[in-house]
Amino acid sequence: MKLRFILLALTGLAGAADKAPKISGIWMMGQSLCDGSESLPIVTNEDTGWGNLAFQRGVRTWLPKDNSATPELRPAELFKLVPLRAQTNGGLGETVANGMADHWQSARFGNDKAGITQSASRFLVACAGQGGRQIQELSIADLSTDPRTPESRRHGGGYYRTSLDDARRAMAQAKSMGANFRIAALYWMQGEGNGGPTGSLVPTRWDAELPRPAGLTWYRDQLIAYRKQWSADLCAITGQGGELPMFTYQTLGPAGEAQLMAADADQNIWLVGPHYAVPSAINSSTSPDRHGDPIHLSADGERWWGEQVGKVMHRVLDRSEDWQPLRPRSAKIATDRASILVDFTVPHPPLVLDTTFLARQEIATKDGFTSLSGFRVRDTSGALLTLTAVEIAAPARVRLRFVRPLPAGQTCSVSYGHPFAQALGTIASLRSGPDHTAELLLKSSFTAQLKPLLAEGAFFVTSLSGQTTRVAIRGTSEENGVTVLRYDPRELRNNVPFAAGQEIVTQRSFSYGNLRDSDPAPSTHTFADPAYGTRAGQSYPLWNWCVLFSDLSTN
C-alpha cells in the first residue's frame, strides 16, 4: 500500500474561508500523444461549460519557431485566460486536456454544471512537449540542443524551460484577476521515444541500447528524478510546499513497464493504466486523402483517455484513494498442473473478460491458442504453451487452462498483450473496388467476429503466409455469403500487395487484452466523431483495463 499525505494546499483547493478565486494548474509534458499529434478533426470545438481554462496561446504552449528556446520572450497578450477547448496547429489536434480537466471538475460537482457558476475554482491546463522526444530532451538537461542530436530533431529545444515560464505566466494572470494559483497535478505522457530496436531502452540518440533489466531501471530512475526536479522548480515559482504529484499512462513498449516500476518506487507517481482500448489515429482525417499513424490517437481517443486520467486525479487528490491500476499480483500453478491461477489488484471488482467491446485477442493453433484474451505462457526454454481457455475464477482471479498438464517440476511465466485478433482464413480472391480502392474476398462470412472491430473504426489485416504485408480496412460488406474487405492500396505496408491464398489475421493498432474491471464511473463527454465506427453519441466507458506486462513468474 502506498501511504500518502496529500496536502490540500498543494491542489489549490484548500482554505474554505479564503473567498478568492482558485485556479489549479494541470501541467503536462510528453511527446506525440501528449501534444495531440494527428488527433484530427478535433471534437471539443467550443467551450464545454465546465469552467476550465487555457492560455489564449492554447493548451500547447511550446510551438516550433515561436520563441521555442526563449519562452520568456513570448508576447504577454497570448497568456490571457480563456475557456479550455481544443485547437488545431498544423497536424496537431485534440489533446487529453478537456477530457482530463472537465471530468475532474464534473466529478467534484456531481456532473452538475449548475454548480460551476457558484464556484470560484477552475483548472488551467498547459502542455510544453513535442512529439518524438526522449525523456532527457524534455528535461532540464535539454539534450535536444546537443550537437550530436540530428538537425531534424533539434527545433530549438526549450520544452522544460517553457513549462516553468508557463507557471510564471499563470501566477501573473492570477494576480491580475485577484485569484490564487497553485499547480494541482503533473501529467507525464512520454516513453516511446526512448524505445530501442530489440525491446529495451536507449538513454540518448547516440547511446547503445541497454540490456532490458538495466534499461527498465534506467528509465524508472530518470522518471523519478524528472518528477522531483520538475516539482521543485515549479514549487519555487508558485510558492507551494511539499511535493507535486505526477500522473502517467502506461505507454507501449518497455517504458510502460518502467513507468509502473517508477510508480511503485515513488509515492508521488501514479500510473493511471494502459490506453490500448481507445481508438487509434488510423481513424483520423489529417487531410482529405490521408489518415494518421497507428501509434497516435484519434480525437475521441485523446478526450476519452483524458477522462480516465481526470477520474484518477479526482480519486487520489480529492478522495485520498490509494490508487493502483488493474495489475497482476502473483501467478501459481494449480495443484493438478492443468492451469495457472493469476491474482490481480482490481480497482473495482469483479474482473470481466470483455470480448464485446474489444474483439477477442487470440492466436489460434491446431488444438488451442498460443495467445488468448491477451495472455501468453512460456516455459523455461521460452517456448509458448498452448492454452484452451481463459476464465474468471474469482472477482480478482483469472485461470489460464492448458491443453495438457505441465510436467512435474516445470515452471513458466505469463505475459499479457498482443495486437492480433480474429484469424480470417485465406484470401479467396482480390479485385478492384470503387473510388480507386481494392477489395479482399474471403471464403466465408465473418460478420459476427468483425463486429467489435468495426464498432471502434478501422482495423488492420496482416498476412501470415507469403510475403508479409498489412493494410487498414476501412469498409466491409457481405456478398453471396462471404465477407468483402475494402482498403486503399496506397496504405499497403511498403507497397507490398496481398495475394490469393494468403492466410490473414485482423489486428488492432495496439497490443491489448480483454481483461478489465467493472468501474461504473460515468463519463462527462461522449463519442463525437461519426466518421468512423458505430459509437458516436455513446458515453466513453471508464473501465480500467489490465496493464501490459511480461515475465510474471509462477510459484
Summarised one tens digit per residue, pLDDT across range 492-513 is 999 999 999 999 999 999 999 9
pLDDT at 16: 36
> Looking at the predicted structure, is the pLDDT value of residue 17 above 50?
no
Q: Report the distance separating Cα 25 and Cα 101, nearest Å.
A: 10
DSSP SS3 for 93:
coil
E strands, 81-144, where? 81-83, 121-127
Grid-cell match 466465408, residue found: 444
What is the band of 2 on the pLDDT scale with cuts at 50, 70, 90? low
Q: Please check whether residue 511 is in contact with residue 419, taking contact to mean a CB–CB distance below 8 angstroms.
A: yes
pLDDT at 18: 53
Grid-cell match 498476412, residue found: 463
Mean pLDDT rounded to a whole number for the chain: 94
Give the pLDDT mean for 431-454.
96
Q: Report the distance separating Cα 445 and Cα 460, nearest Å.
A: 17
> Looking at the predicted structure, is the pLDDT value of residue 528 above 60?
yes
Give the pLDDT mean for 188-212.
96
pLDDT at 111: 78
pLDDT at 15: 39
pLDDT at 165: 98
> Looking at the predicted structure, is the pLDDT value of residue 5 above 70?
no
* H or E stretch covering 159: helix 159-177
Strand partners, 484: 441, 477
Give the pLDDT mean for 315-339.
97
Could you read off the pLDDT of 257-281 as tens digits, one per residue?
999 999 999 999 999 999 999 999 9
